[in-house]
Structure 1
Amino acid sequence: MDLQKPSAGRPARPGGGEPHGSPEGCLTAAIRVPVRIVVLVLVVPVRMVWDALVVTGRFLVDTLLRPLGRALLWLGRAVLVLPFTGLWRYVVVPAGTVLARLGHVLVVVPAGWLHRSVLTPAGRALVRAGRGVGAALAWVYAHVLTPPGHALLWVLKGTGAVLAALGLGAYTAVAWLVRHLVVVPARWLYTWVLAPVGRAAVWCARGIAWLVSALITGVGAALYRTARILFVLPALAVWRWVLAPVGRVLGVVGREVRDALGHAWRIAGHLSLAVGRFLATLFRWILVEPARRVYRSVLTPVGHVVRDAVLRPAAEAARGAGRAVRQALAAARETARQIRADVSRTLFGEPAGRRIADRREPVGRGTRTLGSSTTALTKD
């Protein structure tokens, strides 16, 4: 129960509750604080565990699952997609093209030739033969069967007319007997016996139906009043004086629990964020900063010293040794080439018609100098 009614000028909240700043009932004020304390105590561990799981899941997704998924995607592409693509492109499509061409050559072309050269002339011949047979049958029907049929129909009509003239008197006598022996007694029976009996039966049925309807209506009204007194009024009283107040109390409790859960979840989020930042700062101070300082103060100078004192001289020495070895191998190849040429010249002599190629650069007209010119006016 509210201590005061809300003012008419203040808008109500969308949920149907009280507007912010309006006075609330004593039940709401008594329930809110303990419910929020209990919910906060229960929700904070759940929110911290949830945030820890979220951070762990993001870390696993970024460091393990996404690279693993990319590797599996690449592996699946390399193992499944590319082989099937190559099989489709280089085996199935050429085979299908070859089979299509073979089908066209072996099936379509012979079938077309058979249709054009055999079936079409045979069909046309059958159509012409059918038209001739139909014309012959039509002529037979028109000139052979129709005249005898007309004659037979004329004979039958004449015979029927003669028979009708002979049997007219007998038909009149039979009709008079049927009228006076069957029709007149049946009409009298319907008018003076069956119709009154039917009307009496209908009137009795209507009276019985009215009596049954009145009886059912009275019984239904009595049952309705009895059920209303025994069931409806007690249920209405229970709903009005028990269930509705309990429902309002439970609604207030549920609304406060919902609001308490929302506030507790937000407060737990801030607490979890603060704890996470504290743990991150502690991890950075304990591990990251010392490791960075060791890397900058110790490992980097030692690496520079090792690079300048050991690696670079070793690299220079390796490059010098490589150059010396290459020069020695080039000299050995040149010496072997000269020895092979001298031996060949000693054993077989100088080859005839062989002209020694001049490997020097060709001599031109003359290089340009400051005193020369290539223009048309100053050319020598």
Structure 2
Amino acid sequence: METDKRPPAGGGDGCLVGVIRVPVKIVAVLVVLPVRVVWELLVAGCRAAHRHVLGPLYVHVLEPLFRGLGWLLTVLFKLVFVWPWVGLWRYVLTPVGQGLAWLCRGAYDHLLAPAGRFLGAYVLRPLGEALAWLGRGGMRYLLAPLAKGVGWIGWALGMALFVWPWVGLWRYVLAPVGRGIAWLAAVVHRYVLRPVGLGLVWLVVAVYRYVLRPVGQGFVWLVVAGYRYLLRPVGVGLGWLAVALYRYVLAPVGRVLVWAWHVAGLITAALWRGLKWVGRVLIGWPASWVYRHVLTPAGHAVREVWRTGRAAVREARASVRRALFGTPPVEPARSRERTLGSTTAADAAPADEISLPRRQG
């Protein structure tokens, strides 16, 4: 029988992947699985605590407490910072302000306004007219000639102190000095600065043409050669190495870790179902059996004993009342409502619908 030497359908992964997969599986079972189990237990515990402890505690305790505290703080804030100032403004400051305004209006209407009108009509107006007449006379015959003389003297002093000295300084000093400086600057520019500038320009052009340009071309050639014969082969090699590392190492390890995580999840789910089944078998089913076959019959028996004892007590009480007073016993209204109008105990058959009105009639 010939051995089939064709590769498997999945395209085999090689011995390196097999060597790496076994330790990864062992690590996954020894590390990932316990972590997953602990995580699931923590999630289940937190959900149960939130559902049965934190949620009811917040709804039935903390939320009403916070609402009560908010209402109390609102009332205290209004009592301390709102209502006293509102009362002070409404019952103290507003009446006092209205009283002061009334007093001020009365004082103005009956005291200040008449006094002002009197002073304006009989004191201030005549005094102003007299002062105006005196002022017009003094301005016309005294102040106008004096102002003209003072103005002419001030113009002469201003020209002598602030105009003529500066005009002479500009005309006889600054202008000749400025023309000499301009001539000197033109000579320096023509015979010194211009030749030096042309020499510097020629030197810069020569340095660029015979030094910088060849050096730059050599540097560019060096960069291109380094990229073409060094950086590009190294980059291609590194890219091939990264692709090979991803394809033959990282991808198999990742698949193994994903498989281990899923297996741990399945094992955890199975363990959780087993724990639930064990809890149901050890706790749920015995509790259900005890409730159904022990507590329920015992409750029924207690209820029957209670009903029988209550009926016996009721009958004994009726017999005693009949023996003492000779009157038929009257059943309480609550018992009549509970037994639908019958005259027997609660466990007897109810009477017809017209029996109660007939007896009451």
Tell whether the 8 Å contact from 1:51 to 1:272 is kept in structure 2 after alignment: yes
Query: Which region of structure 1 is more displaced relative to structure 2, 225-234 or 314-323?
Result: 225-234
1:168 to 1:323, Cα distance in 2 relative to 1, 3 A: closer
What's the % identity of the aligned pairs?
21
Deviations 1:94-141 (A, max 9, x none): 555666555433332322222323146537967976x959x9699699
2:50 is aligned to 69
In structure 2, distance between residues paired with 1:283 and 1:64: 12
Instruction: Indicate if the aligned counterparts of 2:33 and 2:261 stay in contact, CA closer than 8 A.
Output: yes
Q: 5+ unaligned residues in a row in structure 1: which ranges? A: 1-31, 343-358, 367-380
The answer to whether residue 178 in structure 2 is matched with residue 197 in structure 1 is no
Using the alignment, how far apart are the partners of 2:356 and 2:155 within structure 1?
147
1:80 to 59, 62, 75: 62
CA displacement at 1:247 relative to structure 2: 1.5
Match of 1:325 in 2: 309
| Aligned partner letter, 1:326 | R
Does the alignment pair 1:243 with 2:217? no
1:117 corresponding residue in structure 2: 99
Q: Which amino acid aligns with 1:158?
A: P
1:186 correspondence with 2:167: no
Greater helix proportion: 2
> Aligned partners of 2:168 and 2:271: how far apart in 1?
126
Q: How big is each residue's C-alpha offset from its partner over 1:196-240, in whole Å with a ceiling of 9 and x where there is no partner?
A: 123334554555555556556666777745864786654543333
Give CA-to-partner distance per residue, 1:19-48, whole Å, 9 cap, x none. Answer: xxxxxxxxxxxxx96886677667656776
| Equivalent position of 1:252 in the other structure | 240
Give the length in aligned residue pairs.
306
Structure 1 residues 219 and 72, CA gap change in structure 2 (3 angstroms): farther
- CA offsets, 1:330-378, max 9 Å, x none? 2444456567769xxxxxxxxxxxxxxxx995559x9xxxxxxxxxxxx
Label 1:246 to 1:206 Cα distance change in 2 as closer, same or farther (>3 A): same
Measure, in 1, the Cα distance between the counterparts of 2:292 and 2:170: 139
Equivalent position amino acid for 2:238 in 1: L
Cα shift readout 1:220-271 (whole Å, capped 9, x = no counterpart): 7777458647866545433332222211222233244445534653465346
Conserved 8 A contact 1:44-1:265: no
Structure showing greater relative contact order (alpha-carbon pairs closer than 8 Å, 6 or more residues apart): 1
The separation in 1 between residues aligned to 2:95 and 2:163, in whole angstroms, is 83
- Kept in 2, the 8 Å contact 1:35–1:256? The answer is no
Q: Distance in 2 between matches of 1:307 and 1:170?
A: 131
Task: Tell me how far apart the structure 2 counterparts of residues 37 and 108 of structure 1 sit (CA, whole Å).
Answer: 92
Distance 1:55 1:176, change over 3 A: closer
- Gap runs ≥5 in structure 2: 1-12, 327-342, 344-354
C-alpha separation in 1, matches of 2:152 and 2:58:
104
Structural RMSD (CA) = 5.8
CA distance in 1, matches of 2:27, 2:155: 113
1:158 aligns with 2:149: no
Q: Decide whether aligned partners of structure 1 residues 166 and 282 sit closer, same or farther in structure 2, where only a CA change above 3 A counts.
A: closer
SS of the aligned residue for 1:118 comes to helix
Question: Are the structure 2 counterparts of residues 78 and 153 from structure 1 closer, same or farther at C-alpha, using a change threshold of 3 Å?
Answer: farther
Checking the alignment, whether the CA contact within 8 Å between 2:40 and 2:268 is kept in structure 1 is: no
Alignment-mate amino acid for residue 111 of structure 1: L
* Distance across 2 between alignment mates of 1:145 and 1:95: 69
Structure 1 residues 54 and 328: CA distance shift in structure 2, 3 A = same
CA distance in 1, matches of 2:238, 2:75: 76
**TM-aligned CA deviation for residue 93 of structure 1:** 4.3
Provide the C-alpha distance between the structure 2 equivalents of 1:35 and 1:120, rounded to a whole number of angstroms.
Answer: 106
The 1-side partners of 2:263 and 2:206 are apart by 77
